[in-house]
Structure 1
């Protein structure tokens, strides 16, 4: 199709992959059943169960890596409420001032609302300005199976994220002193592999839930914060007058290319 098709799909899939990778990389180490501090292992196991059994939650993904900060084609932040039925709502912020995209998925439908900065970064020259004007303050709407939108649909899959917590590796954990993150009392559980440090922050109070997973190393600085366990995802979707069918988006691209 077009560069927009390829990049938008790639962007959303990249966020999904990065989110899953953070869970798997820092998570599988921390979900270990043997080695290290037994109390740390028990906290990790409890937090895993809480995450795996919730029907909904909110995640706040942040990528502070230099490569992401310099690239408008990579997501630097993602604030997303999602549930086990595949519904979600949130905002994705691109690196290098590449704009933001509001997103909503409900049932089999997806809505995307890029801002002006995104369109200008996404499309070259006057094409970006034209798209920003045509779709100003409106969502692009279509089925979750659409090639342009299916990356977002995949990103809203809570069950896929939960599945990433089922693996375990026999590595040790180090339990740190209780601390406070954003007003939440947590216990850090840290593991190290080569030059990478992974830390799970588990809430100090019961039920012990995973509050944050973080990974740091050369060129890497990622975090995932989990809140609102069990809180329903807002069910409101953009109205028809706020939306434009995804087919219109393709028409605009065709017009600008001829």
Structure 2
């Protein structure tokens, strides 16, 4: 598998510049999932439309289901994505050019994030600001001010990596030799979906693709420590990113 799954896995990777930036980047690791394709634990996901008609996606192969789900999400233009693993969480609305929401980094604090085109703004909480300032050796971050930069700034590039905007520009596909198998059609948070399961060495990852309405990829559940659980919803809803109000300062160089 390529871009989407890889980018999703970025939850615990460290920035090479300093130990204080551990967990800043969304991780880039391997696959994981639920014990059974037929059992789904509760988490936010796409809401089913009462009028949604069956789309027949469950008749395709596991690879075709996965690839179609990822492509359909990219074609939606925007969606709401929540991810979580080992205390690291993100709650973001995103498109190919916009991203708005929050990221929590376990014991390392949290930050608000806005991206609109090449402009990126972030506002830290006290814990994140303290850790960054200690690592940088200067009082560059404050809970009272937004920092601003572009992807050319290493810090802002790491922060905005949580937006996974490559999902729109280069949706992931399963490799030709993938061992993924098709599971049963089940109910995932009130919506009918078919499971695609990839299991290896007692660990697995399960992806769910909606079987009614458009075949959106709506959920991932993992048993691996280096993979996140995630849910996508609100497809096609405008992100509406805007420059923040209040004090803004230039992002520090790291």
TM-score by structure 1 length? 0.68
CA distance 1:150–1:177, change in 2 (3 Å): closer
Distance 1:10 1:204 in 2: 39
Return closer, same or farther for 1:191/1:245 CA change in 2, 3 Å cut-off: closer
Q: Are 2:185 and 1:180 equivalent residues in the alignment?
A: no
Q: State the SS of the aligned residue for 1:149.
A: helix
Report the structure number with the largest CA radius of gyration: 1
Task: Find the counterpart in structure 2 of residue 100 from structure 1.
Answer: 110
Which residue is 2:173 aligned to?
166
Q: TM-score scaled by structure 2?
A: 0.69
Please state which structure has a larger fraction of its residues in helix: 1
| Deviation of 1:94 (Å) | 0.8
Counterpart selection for 1:144 from 148, 151, 154: 151
Tell whether 2:101 aligns with 1:56: no
Change (3 A) 1:103 1:215: same
Match of 1:33 in 2: none
Offset of 1:172 from its aligned partner? 4.1
Change (3 A) 1:146 1:84: same
Change (3 A) 1:156 1:8: farther
Question: Which residue is equivalent to 1:78?
Answer: 90
Give 5+ residue unaligned stretches, structure 1: 28-36, 70-75, 254-258
CA shift digits 1:16-42 (9 cap, x unpaired):
x43xx56xx469xxxxxxxxx954535
Greater relative contact order structure (CA < 8 Å, 6+ sep)? 2
| Distance in 2 (alpha carbons) for counterparts of 1:222 and 1:157 | 13
Q: Distance in 2 between matches of 1:209 and 1:201?
A: 9
8 A Cα contact 1:26 1:213, kept in partner: no
Q: Quote how far apart the aligned CAs of 1:50 are.
A: 0.6
Does 2:247 match 1:235?
no
Alpha-carbon separation, structure 2, partners of 1:169 and 1:9: 36
Instruction: State the distance in 2 between where 1:180 and 1:48 align.
Output: 17
The DSSP-based 3-state class of the residue aligned with 1:238 is: coil
C-alpha root-mean-square deviation of aligned residues, in Å?
3.4
